[in-house]
Structure 1
C-alpha cells in the first residue's frame, strides 16, 4: 500500500503539478475568442525562399488553441528544394483530408501562438533528406479522412513524430508538450528508429518510455512526457516543455 501511495505522489509531483502550473499560467494570458479571431499570418521567422537557394528543412511547434493550449502543442514540417521559390508545409489536422499541404504560411502563428523552431537542416544534407521525408509522409498510415484522434493519437504530433523516427537524420524529437508524439502507428508496442539510436516502448501512447541519443531518457504518462535531454543537457517537463540546465 505504501508503494502505491508513493507512486501516486510521484505521478502528482512529476506530471500533474507542472500541468496545473501550465494551466494556471495559460489562464492569466489573453486568448482569441475563437478560431476566426485568432492570428494565422506569418510570424516572420523564415527568410524569403528566393533569398537563399539552398535546400532546407524546418520542424515547427506552437501551442495550440483553447484550454488544451495550456498543455499541448501542434507540430508541422516545412521543406524547400534547392533553388525553389517557395516553401512546402505539411500538417496533419482533425478535419477534412488530414494531411494538409500549404494550408498556412510556413511559419504562421497557430491560434495566435508564435511557432518555435524544433530543428533546422540546410544545404546538401537537406537535399538528401527531403525525398526521404516525402516518402515517409506518403507512407504515413493515418493519412485518410477519419485518421485523427485528438488524444492519445494519432494526431498532428503523431504524424510529425512518425516522420522524425523514419528519417532520424533530421536529428530531432518533438517537445514534451507535443501530446500524441509517442503514439506508435499500427499498434506497435516497441519501435527502434531507422538508425537504431533511439528505442521507444509504449502502450498506445498512454504509458511508456523512450531512450536514446535524440530522446535522452523519457517516461510517458497519459501523453505527458518527463525526462532528461542528454544531447543538450536539460529537463523535459510535462506541459511546460524543455528547460536547459
Structure 2
C-alpha cells in the first residue's frame, strides 16, 4: 500500500512539474490575442534584412508561439531562405490545414504567427547559406510525412524543420526545447540531434532523452522537455523553453559600417 501511495505521489509531482510552465504562461496571459485567427496579426516583425540590405544568400530559422492555448505548450517553427541576388524570400513550413502539409512559397520571412512575435533561432549568410539552399529543394521533396500532420506528438511543423536540419550537414541548429514534435522520429528510435554533435533516443515522441553540444541535456516526457544546457548557461523548462545567457546557434555578427557608407551594417556568418 505504501509503495502504491509513493508511486501516486511521484506521478502527481511529475505532472505538476510538467504543467507548471504552461500554467504560468496561461496565468501571465499573453503573448497573443484571444480573438479570431482571421484577424490575428500576420505582419512582418522586421527581423530579417530586406533584399536591398542583404544582397547575399540568407537562410534563417524562426519560431513563434503556436496559436491559442497551444502556445502555452509549444512553438511553430519554419525556415526562410533568400538566394544571392534574389529580390524575395521563400518560406518553408508545415501546417495542418491542407492535405499536402508542406508549404514552400514566396512570403515575408518573419511574419508574426497569428499574433505571436517570432524569434530568430539561427541565421546563415553568404556561401554557406547558398550551399544550404542548393540542397533544400531535394531534401523537402524527401520529407517522409507530406500528407500527415499531428499536433502532438508529431509529425508536425517542428518535426519537419528538425528533419530538414538533420539532412543538411552544414545546417546544424539546436531547436528550442519547447518545440513539441522536434523529437518525433517516426519508426526510428535513435537519431543525431539537429544541433549536429550529439544523439537522441525517442519513443514515438512521447518519451525520450537527448544529449548534444548545442542542445545540452533534455528529458522528454509526453512531449514536454526539461533539462540543462551547459554551453548556453541555461535551463530548459516545460512550456517555457530555454532560459539561457548564450545562443549556441549560428548567428550573424554585426560589423562596423565603412566611413561614408549608406549606414547599412554588413554582416558575416560565425
Aligned counterpart, 2:97: 95
Q: Aligned in 2, Cα 1:29/1:127: closer, same or farther, shift over 3 Å?
A: closer
Mapping of residues 7-18 of structure 1, within 5 Å: 7-8=10-11, 11-12=14-15, 14-18=17-21
Q: TM-score, normalised by structure 2?
A: 0.82
SS of aligned partner of 1:50: coil
Aligned counterpart, 2:268: none
Q: Aligned in 2, Cα 1:132/1:4: closer, same or farther, shift over 3 Å?
A: farther
Aligned counterpart, 1:134: 137
Contact 1:23 1:71 in 2 (8 A): no
1:179 aligns with 2:164: no
Aligned counterpart, 2:229: 229
SS of aligned partner of 1:16: helix
Q: Aligned in 2, Cα 1:103/1:4: closer, same or farther, shift over 3 Å?
A: farther
Mapping of residues 24-39 of structure 1, within 5 Å: 24-26=27-29, 31-39=33-41
Aligned residues: CA RMSD:
2.1
SS of aligned partner of 2:92: strand
Could you list the structure 1 runs, at least 4 aligned residues long, displaced by more than 4 angstroms after superposition: 193-196
Q: Please, which runs of 5 or more residues in structure 1 have no aligned partner?
A: none
Aligned counterpart, 1:114: 117
Separation in 1 of the partners of 2:178 and 2:38?
24
Contact 2:21 2:240 in 1 (8 A): yes
1:22 aligns with 2:29: no
Contact 1:119 1:171 in 2 (8 A): no
Aligned counterpart, 1:199: 199
Q: TM-score, normalised by structure 1?
A: 0.90
Contact 1:32 1:112 in 2 (8 A): no
Mapping of residues 24-173 of structure 1, within 5 Å: 24-26=27-29, 31-96=33-98, 97-102=100-105, 104-144=107-147, 147-173=148-174
Q: Aligned in 2, Cα 1:91/1:103: closer, same or farther, shift over 3 Å?
A: farther
Larger Cα-atom Rg: 2
Q: Please, which runs of 5 or more residues in structure 2 have no aligned partner?
A: 246-270
CA offset digits 1:32-72 (Å, max 9, x no partner): 41111101111111121132111111000000111112221
Q: Aligned in 2, Cα 1:118/1:192: closer, same or farther, shift over 3 Å?
A: same
CA offset digits 1:85-140 (Å, max 9, x no partner): 11111010001121112375211000111100010011111122222333321211
Separation in 1 of the partners of 2:128 and 2:205?
31
Separation in 2 of the partners of 1:193 and 1:16?
25
SS of aligned partner of 2:181: coil
Separation in 1 of the partners of 2:76 and 2:195?
26
